[in-house]
Structure 1
């Protein structure tokens, strides 16, 4: 409807509006003029995470800063590249002195960042994180050392440098999943990823660029727990203008990704230079955002220009006004009304009183701009429109001030600010990922960034560069400067998170362009120099494997994007093995072995993207979904048992977060999450990076070959073996059972064969047979391996696949010196640590089981299991006053392979030893 009693249109023509436009825009901070009575440069710290901080967990402080900096998102630079305002920014850093240090030169420094507090508004699934209250500064840090840390904050701007006095916080050890720490390259076995505590990180990589899983707050809160609860732990997606999660793109690129795409564009001609703008946004009819609201006063402001017969329609909920250029006649011919006739760039404001909670549409629609608009606005007319600095605000009664911007990415100069709503969603993603064990591999930029790929050496914008050389900017060029400004902000806000696996420059840059390679290495060096902990850096190319680049020490691991296609004519660029996903992984494993020999030092190699392409288009092969058991995904996953350190997944089309479809994949019975959960159940707790495992398989030679005598069908088997610690994993597959054969209805012969593992240490072994679809043990048996080191297993009439977990059963030595003594109203049990197994070989104890019973001579069954501990003592409290029972105890040792020792000697509550 047109203007109502609850709406007020305010057209402000005064040039005074230009002086306050930065106050209204989240693209820059309010200017703070230093009063005649000086105030502190940095306010008292507000501790966001009070109390003791567990190791690897977030410590966060907030504070206010007195500064005249005009843009808090940019660092202070008194000699910036051409086109960047001199000394407009501010540099704020926190410095953390480890407990083991007393020299501040050895402090760990991290950038602090400008932060807009948010609150949750709306009801799921239409809820969102929206700004509330005044902006402030934050610093985040995750301690890697326990003890008392000292910290202080420094800021540098045009007024000089100021540093606070030191404060302290205490870091303690932790007992949660986060105790694993950060993911990095294993220092002892550098072909592997490993956590800070040494545990291997071996889960295959999956893309999250299908079905927008992180695009809304509701999706984030539903999908990340789903991933974690199903063992999908390693994900790659783009928090950039390129990504499918376009509402989590804090920096850069075109504005159209957040305004319904279509015929809306960031443009570079006829811009509002008087307001200091470098770009403008031309919206089309559907360019609005749906915003959850609560009752209160709202206003929409923007600066715009209409030319010719095209019209801007400012909309705030049910209220709208149409803005035309002088002389516009077409709009009235269509029985529409031009509320205002204005030329050149003008300021516009529409206010509305919202009575009920819900959601409203807000934006500036373009009329007569595109043919997909509803009639009569679908007849394109001569003319043009442009807008910038769009802002929706709520009046905050408690502060007596208008809020920060409630719109996502609403100014086209996206290189000059960090969108705070997008950043708040990324906060939520990392926080939930820390809780559910998800680790993110993220490109920082889009190589085809609509702005950075046009930015010239003088800071102006020119023609789009199809070679991306404007984006691959060298040092002292403005595009490179803006990239590093955002990289600095990213490190400050998110480097603390254990859920951050690694970063890339951008998705699929040019592998043989020296400018591309140099840009990737420059970003890696900048991140390594800026972060308080080592953030792994990599990159990705759209084909090939440039070994000199990957050998550079600032590339922590290598990445190859390698799809498959039936009609590929170059297997190095696009694999020829499309019909058998297990063989597709095996090819990757062999090629990565070859690549490893070409690197100057060993490092992890993974497939960053993969999948099977259709021959008609570049999407997923349409037949994959027609196979309801998901054989393409299932066998690609389980084939990883034979790849050891290498990750050969990177599935671009995981078919996650889509409705189940009977007769297709996924369906009510089978989905990728269930597959990963089954695989994780099998693989967890295997110390594959201990340096003792080797790959084994029916296609290998020597004692790594799995010998087989085939009776029928076509059996293959791949896995790993640790002879020293008497363990092996083996996946046995019917090679005829491929996704292509299933789709084509080929008759598949069940396979039968006797498989013989070699090179095992003589001992008694348990063979567990696992159902690979359910992730459960279906049977187990015990065999003896003699001096020849061979273990035979016969598989009969195998239709699909099965997995074996094989381990020696030499348990830890028995505890013989368990003692008991009183402690207040309780008792303390003590014993000597166990360090070897019954064969006298060294072993690692995972924990001790405490068994308790009122019977003096009982056996250590699950019924009597009372507690577990990592220590060599245990306190049972408040039992001496229980005169009705004489509790009796025994202890067993359990190693990292879950082998449990025989029971210790018994002891009783009243202090006597039981013989």
Structure 2
């Protein structure tokens, strides 16, 4: 993947790690029948039963007869010819049957192909079926690997007429030559996954972070989900609660203690990697002030005080959430983060026009965020040109834009004054069309511009032609500016529709506040980010510098500097 992206191109990415090493949201066990719980897959967990001091257990019943690992987790590696032991801790309650006489029934563990409800009865059972009423107990079985990867590890309640099974843990380990056991090969073997950290998965993340660090690539990591089942059902009194909604509990609560233990693990295990840009506490919380932003501020404070400090934030599902980000308790949070899909969750009109003109889409939201008065950086954590029916679907006509005009224009619109950093949601499209060099061209143009000196402001350029637009910034004190000049009729939609797009000529005037001053103007090809030539232009008596534009078919960029 890193090779596909290429050096110097896209450098900032958002990666979900919730459930990778801790917690139940996005954990590796998948149901064949349960739907999503809001924006995360169903966990199959219940707090009505638990083993020992556990909080919850996996429940298998008629509504959820199969939970299996391999689909959302990948397949664990095996060594052919070696012996492995599978171990489960489970119980059954009033499991009756058989539905089909003469065949085994109850809960079982099988190594299967793609498991279909009602279609697994002929697959051999690795751990025999258990039915009736049984207390918590451990069952195990050995098998000899015959391939490099374990098949789907499937917990199945089959051929039953009633009842339920509860599972606390599933383990697979190698039996070594001396009779001892090797390391755990399954992800999240314990369903009380709020009490463990997955070291095997952590080692894989180590490798990714090390490679990303070497390549100057950076991740904002989504570390939790607001729908995290286990924390939501852990009440402040330390007892399980079916009603839930305890994720954001404050100091003194069990969930707060678990949050902080997890944060400390992340900081200690991964904090030294420069590839980690920041921690994002949760995806798409409610856009209002309150306990979640207070919890995020605690994470930000802990991370800032660490020996390897990193920014920390959260995200909201809609609007700029100014009341939340600007609340006094949110001050420690490192940067603001908003999500907006142009049609689905966007709030700026006209939505269809913005969808068809990606430069304008970015620019309008860039200005809106800049005007919100956050006083801190802003990331557009989920940006999308959606189809208007659901934010799950990208605008289908973009598939006809083979050269990525939509991404080119949206990226170069970032030259404007707002400073928002966008992360486009439908990343498969960027990979499928090999569009990552678009980011590289803009990066090369922007290289060396000292935006952090605190003096840059909107370039406030005026164009002489209605079909010209110019976005940029200037440092009047240093006599420097950079800008992107666009033929605004040349949109991705016009290209896809085959609309005739006339070239445009005119001027772009920049108030540089230096009368009769010579400036060196260097022109850039936006397809490459490389300079194409330079010229000296003198400002007028009022300090305005006027740049000529001739027969502009698409777009061009320029840097202005004193001689």
Which bracket does the TM-score occupy, shorter chain normalised?
A: 0.7 to 0.9
In the alignment, structure 1 residue 423 sits paired with structure 2 residue 202:
yes
Q: Distance in 2 between matches of 1:673 and 1:253?
A: 33
Structure 2 match to 1:583? 360
Q: Matched residues in 2 for 1:332 and 1:501: separation?
A: 45
Deviation, 1:452, is: 1.2
| Equivalent residue, structure 2, for 1:522 | 298
Task: Give the conservation status (yes or no) of the 8 Å contact 1:304–1:387.
Answer: yes
Of 110, 119, 125, the residue aligned with 1:315 is 110
Q: SS state of the match for residue 452, structure 1?
A: helix
Residue 287 of structure 1 corresponds to 68
- Displacement of 1:511 after TM fit? 2.1
Contact 1:654/1:672, CA 8 A, preserved across alignment: no
1:344 aligns with 2:142: no
User: What does residue 463 of structure 2 align with?
Assistant: 708
Q: TM-score, normalised by structure 2?
A: 0.83
Look up the match of 2:546. Answer: 792
Shift of 1:438: 1.4
In the superposition, relative to structure 1, how do residues 495 and 721 fare at CA in structure 2: closer, same or farther (>3 Å)?
Answer: same
Q: 1:635 to 1:547 in 2, by over 3 A?
A: same
Distance in 2 between residues matched to 1:571 and 1:783, nearest whole Å: 38
1:123-172 deviation per Cα after TM superposition (whole angstroms, max 9, x unaligned): xxxxxxxxxxxxxxxxxxxxxxxxxxxxxxxxxxxxxxxxxxxxxxxxxx
Does structure 1 conserve the Cα–Cα contact (< 8 Å) formed by 2:279 and 2:312?
A: yes
User: Does residue 383 of structure 1 match 2:163?
Assistant: yes
1:300 aligns to 2:63 (yes or no): no
Q: 1:210-263: per-residue Cα shift (whole Å, max 9, x none)?
A: xxxxxxxxxxxxx2344461421111222114xxxxxxx1111257x4134423
SS of alignment partner, residue 429 of structure 1:
helix
8 Å contact kept, 2:169–2:189: yes
Displacement of 1:715: 0.8
1:677 aligns with 2:437: no
Aligned counterpart for 1:541 among listed residues 316, 323, 330: 316
Q: For the structure 1 residues 737 and 448, does the alpha-carbon distance in structure 2 shift closer, same or farther, using more than 3 Å as the test?
A: same
Question: Based on CA coordinates, which of the two structures has the bigger radius of gyration?
Answer: 1
- How far apart are 1:794 and its partner, in Å? 2.2
**Counterparts of 1:336 and 1:292 in 2: how far apart (Å)?**
21
Call closer, same or farther: CA 1:395–1:317 in 2, change over 3 Å: farther
CA displacement at 1:652 relative to structure 2: 1.4
**Kept in 2: contact 1:450–1:464 (CA 8 A):** no
Cα distance in 2 for residues equivalent to 1:333 and 1:592: 57
**CA distance, structure 2, for counterparts of residue 764 and residue 384 of structure 1:** 82
Task: Summarize the Cα distance change of 1:447–1:394 in structure 2 as closer, same or farther, 3 Å threshold.
Answer: same
Question: What does 1:811-822 align with in structure 2 at a 5 Å threshold?
Answer: none
Asked whether the 8 Å contact 1:254–1:449 carries over to 2, the reply is yes
Matched, 1:507 2:280: no
In the TM superposition, what is the alpha-carbon distance from 1:272 to its structure 2 partner?
4.8
Q: How does 1:222-371 map to 2 (within 5 A)?
A: 223-227=1-5, 229-241=7-19, 249-254=20-25, 257-263=27-33, 265-268=43-46, 271-274=49-52, 276=54, 278-282=56-60, 284-285=65-66, 287-289=68-70, 290-295=75-80, 296-306=82-92, 307-309=95-97, 311-315=106-110, 339=128, 341=130, 343-354=134-145, 358-361=148-151, 363-368=153-158
Pairwise CA distance, 1:352:
2.5
Choose from 218, 223, 238 the match for 1:444: 223
CA contact (8 A) 2:110 2:156 kept: no
Which protein, 1 or 2, shows the higher relative CO under an 8 Å CA cutoff with sep ≥ 6?
A: 2
Instruction: Kindly report the root-mean-square deviation, in angstroms, between the aligned alpha carbons of the 2 structures.
Output: 3.3
Displacement of 1:415 after TM fit? 0.8
Aligned position for 2:399: 625
Contact 2:296 2:312 in 1 (8 A): no
1:768 has 2:522 as partner: yes
Is 1:395 aligned with 2:169? no
Q: Equivalent residue of 1:358, what SS?
A: coil
Q: Which runs of 5+ in 2 are unaligned?
A: 35-42, 98-104
Shift of 1:788: 5.4
Map Cα deviations across residues 502-561 of structure 1 (whole Å, 9 max, x no partner): 2232111112252333332333334445x2243222221122334454243312222222
Contact 1:562 1:574 in 2 (8 A): no
Distance in 1, Cα, partners of 2:52 & 2:496? 63
Structure 1 unmatched ranges of 5 or more: 1-222, 242-248, 319-329, 369-376, 661-665, 697-703, 810-915
| TM-aligned CA distance change 1:390 to 1:780, over 3 Å | same
2:224 is the alignment partner of 1:434: no
Kindly tell me: are residues 744 and 763 of structure 1, through their superposed partners in 2, closer, same or farther at Cα, counting changes over 3 Å? same
1:107-126 pair list within 5 angstroms: none
Cα distance in structure 1, aligned partners of 2:353 and 2:532: 36
Match of 1:748 among 501, 516, 520: 501
Instruction: Give the drift of 1:692.
Output: 3.4
